Amino acid sequence: MKTFRNTFHYFSIFLLSLFLIVNPLGIIQIPTNQVQAQSAPRPYVVFVNGQGNCCAWGMISLRDRLMNELGAEIRYVPYSNFRDGGLSGGGNAYDWSSVDTQFLRSGADFINNQLDRNRPLILIGHSFGGDSILSLIPRINRRIQFVAVIDPVAAGALRQTIVQGQSVPSNVDYFFNRWQENSPWPIDFSSSGQILSCHANSQGRRNCDQESQNIARNADFSPITRECRWDEAIACPGSSLFPPRTGRVQVRVSHQDLPRDAYLQKILGDRIIAQSASWSSLRPMTPSTQPARGVRQSAVGLRGIVHLQNIGDVSFQGSTFAGTRGESRRLEGFSLAIADGTPNLGIQYMAHLQDIGDTPWVNGGQFIGTRGQSRRLEGFAIRLTGSAATNYNIRYICHLQNIGDTPVRSNGEFCGTRGESRRLEGLQVWIERK
């Protein structure tokens, strides 16, 4: 027995020594996102389904991301009551009514009187669930960090009842609204879903992010396509009779598909994660250190201007976002230059213009686009020049009509669209050292 104890003792010393060699500080390392989640109040996320218990609960990739990156606690409720995991219509999953009296009463009581006010609150609803959320938020007497509605529908399966009758109050930090214009539901699906009375704001910055999305997209922004049907063959891109060839068309999202769209879930997750940096309950910051949404640090100084519809030239510098979000305002031209005189480093860019197409590449400091012609930019590309260019990567995103922010593009890659008549509304550029 004594021999066994000695053997176990020496074996334990060996294991401890091995651990200290591999990790000399003797610290058990926890992933950064877990540390942040454990050191801050957990966000409380409520997914609200619409009729037939569809379809906010199906936003699985978004749910998993919020749990992994923010440590979020998830609650699933229907539009008609606030019971976690409950069915719509008081137990009937296919109740076509939109009565949400119980949802409003129970939801307001829980959020106002039971939920820790220091916990960030995120509300996400689809269809009737989006309408119920919009009816709930004026009853909430605390700060609401994020509200997202996906193709919200009111009683009678109408969109315009929401557009004209609902309002987003100022206790909401960020409002995200997406709708489709392809098919019922709602009955008036071809009309705009933009909420006219939106007062969401954070730190004096208006945050009403409202766009339509009609094309199904992968998480990397690439459109999802399918083979053309026989009755589409004549007008289908890429189809021909001789030689026989079947073309492909972009898939258009439906009311039920939109919440589960991979790109919508990604961009909504991006917005929530970015907005979380300003939640004082998660990361207390002084006003001088609060980052604007989407700001990246550039290793090389930049300056430029954008020319905006009904505004004119607007200057920007560094890596700040230039343009607008949620205002349906076209960007008509821009210029960009290296601002800090980095030796042997230059910049060039081109653009795709409405009714003109691709422009030639121009050197930094030159304006590209138009003024006074009401002509939209639809895309652009940027690249670095000079012997020092091999030491850097230039990165950029653009904000597109009915799509929102694109994934990051780099080093001459095109950002935007061609042939879709889709306006560019903003851009953001920064340079990273390799």
Per-residue pLDDT tens digits for 252-306:
999 999 999 999 999 999 999 988 877 744 333 322 223 334 445 678 889 999 9
Residue range 120-140: average pLDDT?
Answer: 95
Q: What is the pLDDT, as a whole number, of residue 125?
A: 96
Q: What is the pLDDT, as a whole number, of residue 233?
A: 67
At 242, is the secondary structure helix, strand, or coil?
coil
Short-list 139, 138, 155, 198, CA closest to 174: 198
Q: How far apart are CA 296 and CA 428, in angstroms?
A: 9
Higher pLDDT pick, 54 / 331:
331
End-to-end CA distance of the chain: 61
Q: How many CA atoms lie within 13 A of 392 on its CB side?
A: 25
Neighbours of 97 (CB within 10 A): 14
Q: What is the pLDDT, as a whole number, of residue 328?
A: 85
At 51, is the secondary structure helix, strand, or coil?
helix
Q: What is the pLDDT, as a whole number, of residue 66?
A: 94
> Is the pLDDT score of 22 beyond 80?
no
> Is the pLDDT score of 402 beyond 50?
yes
pLDDT band at 59 (very low <50, low <70, confident <90, very high): very high
Q: Report whether 80 contacts 88 (CB < 8 A).
A: yes
Summary mean pLDDT of the chain: 83
Q: What is the pLDDT, as a whole number, of residue 152?
A: 96
Q: How far apart are CA 6 and CA 147, in angstroms?
A: 62
Residue range 206-220: average pLDDT?
Answer: 92
Q: What is the pLDDT, as a whole number, of residue 98?
A: 56
Q: What is the pLDDT, as a whole number, of residue 91?
A: 42
Torsion angles phi and psi, residue 278, rounded to 5: -100, 0
Residue range 140-160: average pLDDT?
Answer: 93
CA torsion, points 142, 146, 151, 153, in degrees to nearest 10? 0
> Is the pLDDT score of 203 beyond 50?
yes
At 401, is the secondary structure helix, strand, or coil?
coil
Q: What is the pLDDT, as a whole number, of residue 92?
A: 46
Least confident of 34-48, 80-94, 400-414: 80-94
Q: What is the pLDDT, as a whole number, of residue 88?
A: 58
At 74, is the secondary structure helix, strand, or coil?
strand
Least confident of 192-206, 219-233, 279-293, 375-389: 279-293
154: DSSP letter: B
List of residues 6+ apart from 37 with CB closer than 8 A: 69, 70, 71
pLDDT band at 87 (very low <50, low <70, confident <90, very high): low
Higher pLDDT pick, 188 / 295:
188
What pTM, to 2 d.p., does this model score? 0.62
Q: What is the pLDDT, as a whole number, of residue 296?
A: 59
Which residue type, as a one-letter code, is found at position 49? N
Least confident of 83-87, 223-227, 304-308: 83-87
Q: How far apart are CA 180 and CA 214, in angstroms?
A: 5
Short-list 428, 350, 433, 340, CA closest to 388: 433
Q: What is the pLDDT, as a whole number, of residue 40?
A: 54
β-bridge pairing 175-179 and 201-202: unpaired
Residue range 192-213: average pLDDT?
Answer: 89
Higher pLDDT pick, 286 / 233:
233
> Is the pLDDT score of 237 beyond 80?
no
> Is the pLDDT score of 63 beyond 80?
yes
Q: How far apart are CA 194 and CA 389, in angstroms?
A: 43
Q: Report whether 319 contacts 295 (CB < 8 A).
A: yes
Short-list 198, 110, 203, 191, CA closest to 157: 191
Torsion angles phi and psi, residue 133, rounded to 5: -65, -45
287: DSSP letter: G
Q: Report whether 151 contacts 179 (CB < 8 A).
A: yes
Q: Token pair 């002084």 is at which residue?
A: 286
What would the pLDDT profile of 356-380 be if each residue is shown by its tens digit? 999 999 999 999 999 999 999 999 9
Residue range 143-159: average pLDDT?
Answer: 93
Higher pLDDT pick, 30 / 259:
259
> Is the pLDDT score of 246 beyond 50?
yes
Q: Report whether 196 contacts 164 (CB < 8 A).
A: yes
> Is the pLDDT score of 430 beyond 50?
yes
Q: What is the pLDDT, as a whole number, of residue 86?
A: 66
pLDDT band at 15 (very low <50, low <70, confident <90, very high): very low
Q: How far apart are CA 117 and CA 142, in angstroms?
A: 7
Residues above pLDDT 90, as percent of the chain: 57
